[in-house]
């Protein structure tokens, strides 16, 4: 993984604001003591959750989106490491591994592509490199029986997370087939045709390649569901969704019932938990929405999913603190830190 930076204790404490009579997560989370034999060190760590960042917007740009999803990782990390270490969340069950850095690829494309079409093609090709490295790391973590917590980055990373987790759980002897389920809280299906890798078709590639068995989307916006994708979903018994309109406009079922439906649909297999920040109302992202779920709903989703699923991984993506069009929001990182802490507390309370 040539594009990965491992964190040490100095990196963590640089972001942690130490206060007398208090202990912050940054003081109690684990880091790898030895980067040269990092796989052995990771295997020997008692930590159950492995947190890493994928701060890139290459997949989003490859999907004709607005860049900036690379900006959320460090604000998240700063907020997360400064949470209180207490009986609710101690931090010792976490290992902060580090982050990917694909900025060189982005710079190369921006400097050398002659046209918009060439730029999009180059970004789609670059996503394949990201796929390979994220898949490798996810496979190693899950082979060791640990749970990856990946903070993106674009939703293109769902594909290597699904693929890596399926391979890892299979290699560990936990699954008979390299295939997992997925639930996704998202305004979009991200099941667009396999026209070249980007943030809008990660689940399509995972399904076509046989690594994704069942897939359920919660909160899908009817206005942004292509007709061809709609037909693919309704004609496939392994795919399901509950629209935002059915939950909040027509009130056919409430939000908790919708999440319960998704966890029931996927309960027989290990399940990746996905959350796209563009579904949260007025939260900065490439596809920011004025009509979406609340942060409370997002927190309820990760809590219920962690409690009711056989968790393969957690992936929170598409959030930004600064977009390339100039829009900013400094609270995105703090919101992601709430979501990650909710997930860990709920999964720990589940006794897994």
**Which structural domain range is residue 198 located in?**
4-349
Give the span between the Cα atoms of 82 and 13, in whole angstroms.
10
Mean of pLDDT values over 189-211 = 98
CA dist 181 → 132, 161, 211, 225 (Å): 20, 12, 8, 21
Q: What is the pLDDT of residue 349?
A: 87
> In the chain, how many domains are there?
1
Q: pLDDT band at 34, cuts 50/70/90?
A: confident
Structure tokens at 158: 């769902």
CATH number (domain holding residue 329): 3.40.800.10
Give the span between the Cα atoms of 340 and 337, in whole angstroms.
5
Taking 70 as the threshold, does the pLDDT of residue 105 lie above it?
A: yes
At 237-264, the pLDDT tens digits run 999 999 999 999 999 999 999 999 999 9
Q: What is the pLDDT of residue 351?
A: 54
At 117-164, the pLDDT tens digits run 999 999 999 999 999 999 999 999 999 999 999 999 999 999 999 999
Structure tokens at 67: 């860049």
Taking 90 as the threshold, does the pLDDT of residue 318 lie above it?
A: yes
């Amino acid at each position: 993984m040539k594009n990965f930076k491992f964190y040490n204790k100095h990196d963590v404490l640089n972001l942690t604001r130490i206060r007398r009579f208090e202990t912050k997560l940054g003081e109690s989370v684990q880091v790898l003591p030895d980067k040269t034999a990092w796989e052995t060190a990771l295997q020997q760590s008692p930590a159950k959750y492995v947190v890493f960042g994928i701060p890139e917007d290459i997949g989003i740009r490859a999907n004709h989106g607005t860049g900036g999803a690379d900006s959320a990782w460090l604000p998240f990390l700063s907020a997360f490491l400064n949470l209180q270490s207490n009986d609710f969340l101690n931090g010792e069950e976490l290992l902060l591994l580090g982050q990917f850095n694909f900025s060189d690829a982005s710079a190369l494309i921006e400097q050398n592509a002659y046209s918009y079409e060439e730029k999009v093609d180059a970004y789609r090709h670059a996503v394949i490199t990201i796929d390979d490295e994220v898949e490798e790391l996810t496979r190693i973590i899950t082979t060791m029986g640990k749970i990856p917590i990946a903070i993106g980055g674009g939703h293109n990373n769902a594909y290597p997370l699904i693929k890596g987790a399926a391979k890892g759980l299979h290699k560990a002897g936990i699954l008979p087939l390299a295939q997992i389920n997925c639930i996704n809280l998202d305004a979009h299906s991200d099941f667009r045709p396999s026209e070249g890798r980007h943030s809008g078709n990660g689940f399509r590639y995972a399904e076509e390649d046989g690594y994704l068995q069942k897939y359920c989307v919660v909160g899908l916006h009817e206005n942004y569901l292509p007709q061809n994708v709609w037909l693919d979903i309704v004609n496939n018994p392994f795919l399901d969704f509950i629209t935002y309109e059915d939950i909040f406009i027509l009130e056919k079922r409430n939000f908790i019932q919708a999440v319960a439906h998704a966890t029931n649909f996927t309960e027989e297999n290990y399940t990746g938990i996905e959350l796209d920040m563009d579904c949260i109302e007025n939260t900065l992202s490439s596809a920011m929405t004025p009509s979406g779920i609340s942060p409370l709903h997002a927190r309820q989703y990760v809590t219920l999913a962690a409690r009711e699923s056989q968790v393969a991984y957690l992936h929170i993506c598409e959030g930004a603190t600064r977009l390339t069009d100039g829009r900013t929001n400094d609270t995105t990182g703090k919101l992601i830190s709430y979501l990650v802490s909710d997930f860990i507390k709920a999964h720990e309370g589940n006794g897994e």
